[in-house]
Structure 1
Amino acid sequence: MPLFPNERNVRTTPEGLLWEPSERWVRGRKGDITVVDSRHPLLVWEPDLPVPCYAFPREEVRTDLLRPAENPQTGRHTGSQIFYDLEAGGGLVENAAWTFPAADLADHIAFAWFLRWGSGLDHWYEEEEEIFIHPRDPHKRVDAMPSSRHVQIEIGGTFVADTHRPVLLFETGLPTRYYVPREDVRLDLFEATDHSTGCPYKGTAQYWNWSGEGDVPHNILWSYAEPLPAVAPVKGLLAFYNEAVDIALDGERLPRPVTPFTASLKP
């Protein structure tokens, strides 16, 4: 038993999975059909994945909509034993759900989230708030803090941003991101792209490419036009991948960090 009512109670399985109960009411839908309606979900972390998924008691899942998968996947999840196809709304979603072999999780079913895996349930709610991409990690913080620090950003020796009014975004496990007002960015040196990404902590981002010379990764610059309330101070501001640009903070050049994004940043 936890020492305090709100103390985290993370447990480990022999397979290397971490899990803990969540007190959130979670629902998952495929179109207009509610497939999951759970008041007893578990958050599960797999060893090789940086974000959690939910697993739900079978009695809180529409198991009548699940069929043993005709073409079960291998290698995507930690020791997963059984995959299920989902039949809902006249359509079939292959490998939409699975079970973990761990004894602690034997009576639970996990589901793919469409915006993360490209298939699965397409709408998820925690209480009355819709959540995108993946569940939020209760052990992770994201703080957006206005600052007066001097931030300068260069690409290939060209200054592209210079501000004394950034918003610093601190996110657990990632380097500080420096969000700069548009008036302090040489946006004329960039071209808007049709690329976008979603984040359950920040919202949907739009991107720009560097239009100058040099081997600069695509979509190096981004902005949240309508961020989620928790990071409202970054609204409309612009940020660069620290991994691929040169940043000076109060006159001190920062080293380029190596992060989970580094390998995907390619010209």
Structure 2
Amino acid sequence: MSQSSVDDQTCQVGNPAKKNIQIETTPRRVRVRVGGETIADSKEVLLLHERGHLPVYYFPESDVRKDLLSPSVHSTHCPLKGDASYWDIQVDGRVIENAVWSYPQPIPESEAIRGYLAFYWNKVDTWHEEEEEIFVHPRDPYKRVDAIASSRHIEIILNGVKLADSKRPVIVFETGVPVRYYLPKDDIRWELFAPSSLQTSCPYKGTATYLTANIDGQTYDNLVWSYQNPIPEIPKIAGLYAFYNEKVEVYVDGQREAEPKWFRSALDFFNASEV
């Protein structure tokens, strides 16, 4: 996902029968850092949920170092929030253009964000919730990730070639994401794979590394991923490997699973990123 698409520049109105915007407080202390400067530090951030978008933190103006911001001529319009104004960040001679936005006169439905500022995630250096660094986007309090050991028989097949066969998967159930089957290395035909240089981050699991398959002379890039050192909240998947269900045939207890009808795979959503 391009950085500009997180908020205003792809703002779309969804089904008016459903709630498009939800704004709520969070008890978490959130900080944003650029270089050696903490540019925002607040215990009173708002978390804005918008249909079709990642959650976004909004900071009270009083908790943002506005002395490190300069107004930009850039502006955008969102029918769900109003007209947005932007600021550049200036730290130690470094200028980050249009990195911060706010809605000085939000529409009534989004009145709660008046006086608050938001940051494009990838335009700043680091984000922290309490004392832990977080990655990619705010962790959604309405999202759940469960990793459950199973005895289901999992077979992975691609173009008639069996790539993996396991009766000891860890199954990851994640809100809004296809079921993923994490398999032990010994249950995968390791001779068909080679390490990829790709690495991605997930706020719920950690940093993933990838494997590329070579089958009958054809290369399948980044077909498999693994969290060798996942975050403490999800230790069960450490050192296991998962295949993109969308790219292979997955058999569970002898029954082929339907291809996931999921509109955001990691490779599309984050320009090569596992979910």
Q: TM-score range by the shorter chain?
A: 0.7 to 0.9
In the alignment, structure 1 residue 64 sits paired with structure 2 residue 67: yes
Q: 2:100: which partner in 1?
A: 97
CA shift for structure 1 position 72: 5.0
Indicate the residue corresponding to 1:20 in structure 2.
24
SS at structure 2 position matched to 1:183: helix
The residue that corresponds to 2:246 in the other structure is 243
The whole-number CA distance in structure 1 between the counterparts of 2:158 and 2:82 is: 44
Corresponding position: 1:30 with 2:34 = yes
The 8 Å contact of residues 196 and 211 in structure 2, kept in 1 or not, is answered as: yes
Gaps of 5+ in 2: 1-15
Q: 1:263–1:222: structure 2 CA closer, same or farther, 3 Å change rule?
A: closer
Corresponding residue for residue 224 of structure 2: 221
State the Cα distance separating 1:216 from its structure 2 match: 7.2
User: Which of 110, 119, 127 is equivalent to 2:118?
Assistant: 110
Any stretches of 5+ residues in structure 1 without a counterpart? 1-11
Whole-angstrom distance in 2 between the partners of 1:73 and 1:36: 23
The structure 1 residue matched to 2:146, chosen from 121, 125, 143, is 143
Distance 1:256 1:214 in 2: 25
- Is 1:200 matched with 2:203? yes
Counterpart of 2:112, as a letter, is: D
* 2-structure distance, mates of 1:217, 1:188: 14
The farther-off stretch of 210-219 and 98-107 is: 210-219
Structure 1 segments (4+ residues) deviating >4 Å:
70-75, 77-80, 213-217
Q: CA deviation at 1:41?
A: 0.6
Contact 2:23/2:112, CA 8 A, preserved across alignment? no
TM-score, normalisation: structure 2: 0.83
How far apart, CA to CA, are the structure 2 residues paired with 1:61 and 1:79?
Answer: 21
- The two structures have a TM-score, normalised by structure 1, of 0.85
- Amino acid paired to 1:206: T
Which residue of the partner structure matches residue 43 of structure 1?
47
- Partner residue in 1 for 2:177: 174
Contact conserved, 2:166 with 2:183, CA < 8 A, in 1?
A: yes
Q: Say which structure is richer in strand.
A: 2
Distance 1:242 1:81, change over 3 A: same
The structural deviation recorded for 1:70 is 4.5
Separation in structure 2 between the aligned mates of residue 216 and residue 242 of structure 1, nearest angstrom: 17
Corresponding residue of 1:160: 163
Offset of residue 228 of structure 1: 0.6
Write the deviation string for residues 82-111 of structure 1: whole angstroms up to 9, x where unpaired.
011001122111111101333221110000
Tell me the distance in 2 between the aligned counterparts of 1:79 and 1:188: 55
Q: Indicate how the Cα distance of structure 1 residues 18 and 216 shifts in structure 2: closer, same or farther if over 3 A, else same.
A: farther
The one-letter amino acid paired with 1:130 is E
Pairwise CA RMSD of aligned residues? 2.6
Q: Residues 257 and 217 from structure 1, CA distance in 2 versus in 1: closer, same or farther, beyond 3 angstroms?
A: farther
SS in 2 for 1:211: strand
In 2: Cα distance, 1:44 partner to 1:248 partner: 39
Which residue of structure 2 aligns with residue 8 of structure 1? Answer: none
Cα pair 1:80 1:98 within 8 Å, conserved: no
Taking the aligned partners of 1:80 and 1:66, their CA distance within structure 2 comes to 19
